[in-house]
Chains A and B, each alone.
Chain A
C-alpha cells in the first residue's frame, strides 16, 4: 500500500536570471514499511525533494499525496498540523532543543499534540530505551555525543507515531561507529514496527542498508532499484 504518491513534481527556483529546476518531473510511490535511500550528487535535488515530501517546501507543479491527502493543496496552518501528525523528521545537525533533556526533547512533540503527561512520559522513556539511551534520558544534548544526539532525534521523530520518517543526511556528522549504531537502530525499528524511513544521503553505508535506492540527477530520477526484487 502506497503511503506517498508523487506525480509530475517540479520545483523551479527562478530568483536569479537563470531558472534552476531543482526537481524536474519526479513520479514516485513509496509503500508502507520501506527503508529507502535517495542518493545523488550535490545539487541533484535530494534535499529539495525530501523537503517537498515533508511539507517544508512547496512545489512549483505536481502533487504529493500522503495517505490520500494532497499536501500541495493544504494551507500553511493545515500543513503544520499535518506534519505534526504524520511525518517524523531527522536532521543532519540533530537540531535538538538544547535547554531540554533528552526525554523532554522526545516529549515535546507529544506536548504539541496535546497528549497527557503520563502518556508522554511513558512513550518518551520507551522510545529512548529503544534507541539505547535509557540511562541518559535526563541529560541535556550538550552532555551527549553526536551519535547519541542523533538517536534522541530518531526517538523524537517517532514520538508522534508518524506515517513515515524523513531523514536528511542523518549520518553526515557521525563517525563510523555511531553511523553503524544509528542505522542498526533504524533498521530494527523498520523491521519490528514497520516504520517507513526515507533518507537523503551521500553515505554509502546508508545505501548499503537501504532496501530501495533512488538515484537523482539534475532533479530527475535516473535510477530506482528495489533490492528485494533483485
Chain B
C-alpha cells in the first residue's frame, strides 16, 4: 500500500511532476546520447589503431622497442609467424622489418618509420591497402623497388605515384645505407600524424638494405579473432614466442589505453554532473511535496505510521519520480542512439582537428547494455539521495502540531 500511495503522490501535483520528469528525461537523454557518441568515437579510434596501425598483439626481440635498433631481431621468424597464425584465436600474423630512415625527394626531406612488409600477409593483418588513394600496394613496376607513403608525407615532399625518393638509414652493422625507391601508392587513414610518419616497402627490399640475415624480422604483428581477447590470448602466444617479448595493443600504445580507460571515467563524471544538477531539482520538488503535506504526514505519524515507513514512503516517491523521467530519457536516448549506430554522424567540418588525433569524421554511436544498467542504478541512487533532506524534514515534524497546521 505504501508503494501505491507513493506512486499516487507522484501524480498529485501533475504539472509539477511532469515538468520534473521532462527535465530528468532531457538530462538523461543528453547523457545517454553523449556517452554513446563519445564511446563510438573512441571505439572507432581503437578500431583504426588496431586494424590500421598496431594489430592486436606484437612480438619483438627483447630490447628492440627501447630504440628500434636493427641489431635486436627475431630469429626463425617465418616459422614463428606460421606457428602463431595456426593458433585458434589468431586470425593472421605478419612479419615486419623496421627502420628509421631519412627520406629525400626532389622537393624536400623528412623522417619516419619505414616498415618492410609481405603485402599478401600484411593485407590479412592491417588494412592500409584499403586506404590507398592512388597507385598500388607495393606492386613493383620496373627495377626500382616500390614504396607506399602517406598522404600527409606525399603532400609535404610533393610526392606522387611514380616519384623517386632516396631512403637513407644505418644498417644492421652500423654502416650508412642509401637506396632509391619509387612511390607505388599513396594512402590516407583517419590519422594524419600516422600518415606523415609511416612508409611501407617490401620485406625483402628492406632486408637487403638493412643487411639482415635470412629468416629474421623485427616484429610480428598478430590479428586476433576478437580484439578484446588480447590479454587472454597473450600467455599462449608468449609460450610460442619463447624468449621474445609479446605485447598487447594497449601495452604498445599507452596513450590509447589511457584513452579507453579514462573515457569511461569521463563519461561517468559527465553523467554525474547531469544527475547532480537534477538532484537539486528533485530536492526542490520533494521538499515542496513534503511541506504541502505537513498535516497529512502529521496524521500518518499520529495514527501509528512509524518514522521508518514515512522515510521509505518519501524515498519511494522520489525514486518513482526520478525513475519515470530517467527511464524515459534512457529509452529515448537509446532509441536515437540506435539510429546512429547504423547511420553515422558526419563531422567532416571538423576533419582537420579530428584527423590530427586519429579520430574518424564519421562517428557511429555505440552503447553497451551494461552502461544502461549502471545508468538506471545511478538514477535510482539520485532519487534516493535527493529525498533524504525532504524526508528528514518530514521526520522532524511534531504530529500534534502538524495535524493542526494550516
Q: Are B302 and A77 in contact (CB under 8 A)?
A: no
Q: How far is the CA of A199 from the CA of B311 in the complex (A)?
A: 31
Q: Are A112 and B305 in contact (CB under 8 A)?
A: yes
> Is the C-beta of B404 less than 8 angstroms from some C-beta in chain A?
yes
Q: How far is the CA of A54 from the CA of B12 in the complex (A)?
A: 30
> Is the C-beta of A47 less than 8 angstroms from some C-beta in chain B?
yes
B interface footprint on A14-25 (CB within 8 Å = 1, 0 otherwise): 000000000000
Taking CB atoms, residues of chain A closer than 8 Å to B398 are: 56-57
Give the number of chain B interface residues (Cβ < 8 Å): 23
List residues of A (51-89) whose CB comes within 8 Å of B's CBs.
51, 54, 56-57, 77, 80-81, 83-85, 89
Q: Are B5 and A100 in contact (CB under 8 A)?
A: yes
Q: Are A81 and B304 in contact (CB under 8 A)?
A: yes
Q: How far is the CA of A83 from the CA of B302 in the complex (A)?
A: 7
A interface footprint on B296-311 (CB within 8 Å = 1, 0 otherwise): 1011111111110100
Q: Are B296 and A95 in contact (CB under 8 A)?
A: yes
Q: Are A83 and B304 in contact (CB under 8 A)?
A: yes
User: Which among A33-41, A103-111, A186-194 touches the partner chain?
Assistant: A103-111
Taking CB atoms, residues of chain A closer than 8 Å to B295 are: 93, 95
Query: Which chain A residue lies CB-closest to B301?
Result: A80
Q: Are B5 and A56 in contact (CB under 8 A)?
A: no
Q: How far is the CB of A185 from chain B (nearest CB, A)?
A: 19
Q: Are B12 and A99 in contact (CB under 8 A)?
A: yes
With beta carbons under 8 angstroms apart, the residue of A56, A99, A100, A160 that contacts B302 is A56
List residues of B (67-97) whose CB comes within 8 Å of A's CBs.
none
> Is the C-beta of A92 less than 8 angstroms from some C-beta in chain B?
yes
Q: Are A77 and B304 in contact (CB under 8 A)?
A: no
Taking CB atoms, residues of chain A closer than 8 Å to B303 are: 83-84, 89, 108-109, 112, 156, 160
Q: 9 new A-B pairs (CB below 8 Å) besides A77-B307, A95-B295, A98-B12?
A: A51-B400, A80-B306, A83-B304, A91-B404, A92-B404, A108-B1, A112-B305, A156-B303, A160-B303
Q: What are 21 A-B pairs with beta-carbon distances under 8 A?
A: A47-B404, A80-B301, A80-B307, A81-B306, A83-B303, A83-B304, A84-B303, A85-B304, A89-B302, A89-B403, A91-B299, A91-B403, A95-B299, A97-B299, A98-B296, A99-B12, A100-B8, A104-B1, A108-B303, A112-B304, A112-B309
